[in-house]
Chains A and B, each alone.
Chain A
């Protein structure tokens, strides 16, 4: 089962309060891939990620993560999640946050030190999260997702609001994790981040507009930039 896809999604539909948020999505993600989930705000990216995590109920269709039905008990230690909000305790220090979440996952202190180094927060480790900047907070949140080195990471807009240097750092971190065999699904509404992924899923109004490599997207639309490619794709589909 080592070569099983990290994600298998078949005709996934999510209806929330009479609105069809996801309209029959199907795609597979092989293990060890860096996948970008791109699309404008409101296209359903977060809903898709929350469905893959099992916290959003699926209306119909099927979604498997690491070969198991999403939301199953076994996946609770094997999928790292970073939500859009920072989802950490502002009134705890960085290390206290990480120590608590590591404890819940049944991990020891060495995991805390490991993730502190990955996200480069050693000099902030004993500061209260409330005193950190937005970018620093999202690195703490990423660090929580990395605890225990889960084989699948689902990261909802981890680079939003970060300066270019930090964004660069984060994408390098993702590439390193993928090189070590992790599957990373990253969402973004910044089309230019497409270039950093091996694989793109373009979502618009709950439909998958494109599924393939970034180079294929440029080729197919005859564009030089990703913003432009996205616009042409929409014009072509309507």
Chain B
């Protein structure tokens, strides 16, 4: 493992993004506008945005980074650049961590922008500590990136990769407590919902819980990130049969 090659890979991915200003604009503007739309739609129901808004700060990075990562890594797999890199002295972990690093930066900028807008313009008065929200958004972004890396191995085309988004994201969205409070779910579903990565992200943002509770949620997220990165790394093959 070389930190230098990981950094070079991360820098290369950021350079690719820099040449694509439209994607950067979409990555930053869409979540900001959506949270703004939510705030506006709840303007006649005081208190509701305070409850819902922060949760979205955990959901957006996960969804967006999953989509972006699965499509970009699939592109590396299909256009031959991944094969070329693996004939060179690049370790799989360097490749994977380069992606994780580059998209973590995007996730940080995205969540900083969305939470700043929420606390100022959109009128969020959430008791949660802003730094915790930022860490959750970062973890959620890394979750999306890690799962995108792993699941891109299952897709043969970009069209298929895009289809993984509803398959992977929507069930978690239904079960993360946003639609139905977890306590009201059937027991079997609740047990599943409690260990889903998106639920952990939403829980970690919920205000006024014990330190142990937050620690558990972060532990779940870190376990998923690590697991998915290991699986993603295992899907990279230097040699095909």
A102: min CB distance to chain B, Å: 9
Contact B12 A83 (CB under 8 A): no
A residues 88-123 with Cβ under 8 Å of B? Answer: 88-93, 96, 100-101, 103-106
Contact A81 B84 (CB under 8 A): yes
CB-nearest residue of chain B to A15: B241
A80: min CB distance to chain B, Å: 9
A87-B81, A87-B84, A91-B16 given; A106·B89 CB < 8 A: yes
Contact B80 A85 (CB under 8 A): yes
> B80, B88, B241: which contacts A104 (Cβ < 8 A)?
B88
CB-CB under 8 A from B238, the residues of chain A are 54-55, 71
Cα A148 to Cα B203 with chains together (Å):
51
Contact A55 B87 (CB under 8 A): yes
CB-nearest residue of chain A to B7: A103
> B4, B84, B89, B240: which contacts A77 (Cβ < 8 A)?
B89
Contact B15 A96 (CB under 8 A): yes
Cα A144 to Cα B84 with chains together (Å):
10
B residues 30-75 with Cβ under 8 Å of A? Answer: none
Contact A55 B5 (CB under 8 A): no
Contact A76 B80 (CB under 8 A): no
CB-nearest residue of chain A to B89: A76
CB-CB under 8 A from A100, the residues of chain B are 8-9, 11-12
Q: B85 an interface residue at 8 Å Cβ cutoff?
A: yes
Contact B241 A85 (CB under 8 A): no
Cα A183 to Cα B5 with chains together (Å):
28
Contact B240 A56 (CB under 8 A): yes
Contact A86 B80 (CB under 8 A): yes
Contact A92 B16 (CB under 8 A): yes
Residue-wise, chain B 3-21 has the 8 Å CB interface mask toward A (1 for contact) of: 0110011011001100110
Q: A53 an interface residue at 8 Å Cβ cutoff?
A: yes
Q: A128 an interface residue at 8 Å Cβ cutoff?
A: yes
CB-nearest residue of chain A to B82: A87
A76-B89, A87-B80 given; A57·B239 CB < 8 A: yes
CB-CB under 8 A from A85, the residues of chain B are 79-80
B107: min CB distance to chain A, Å: 20
> A16, A55, A105: which contacts B89 (Cβ < 8 A)?
A105
B76: min CB distance to chain A, Å: 9
Q: A153 an interface residue at 8 Å Cβ cutoff?
A: no
B6: min CB distance to chain A, Å: 11
Cα A76 to Cα B238 with chains together (Å):
11
Contact B89 A71 (CB under 8 A): no
Cα A85 to Cα B15 with chains together (Å):
22
Contact A57 B240 (CB under 8 A): yes
A55-B239, A100-B8, A104-B5 given; A79·B87 CB < 8 A: yes
A55-B240, A71-B239, A103-B8 given; A128·B19 CB < 8 A: yes
A55-B239, A56-B239 given; A103·B80 CB < 8 A: no
Contact B89 A89 (CB under 8 A): no
A76-B89, A92-B15, A92-B16 given; A55·B83 CB < 8 A: yes
CB-CB under 8 A from B8, the residues of chain A are 100, 103-104
Q: B135 an interface residue at 8 Å Cβ cutoff?
A: no
CB-CB under 8 A from A89, the residues of chain B are 12, 16, 81
CB-CB under 8 A from B84, the residues of chain A are 81, 83, 87, 101, 144
A170: min CB distance to chain B, Å: 19
Cα A84 to Cα B89 with chains together (Å):
21
A57-B240, A96-B12, A104-B85 given; A91·B90 CB < 8 A: no
> B19, B86, B90, B241: which contacts A57 (Cβ < 8 A)?
B241
A91-B20, A92-B15, A128-B19 given; A76·B241 CB < 8 A: no
Which 4 A-B pairs have CB atoms at the shortest separation, nearest pair first?
A87-B80, A103-B8, A100-B12, A85-B80
Beyond A91-B16, A101-B88, 14 additional pairs, beta carbon < 8 A: A54-B239, A55-B86, A55-B239, A55-B240, A56-B239, A56-B240, A57-B240, A57-B241, A71-B239, A76-B88, A76-B89, A89-B16, A103-B4, A104-B8
Between A and B, 5 residue pairs with Cβ closer than 8 Å are A54-B238, A79-B87, A91-B19, A101-B88, A104-B8
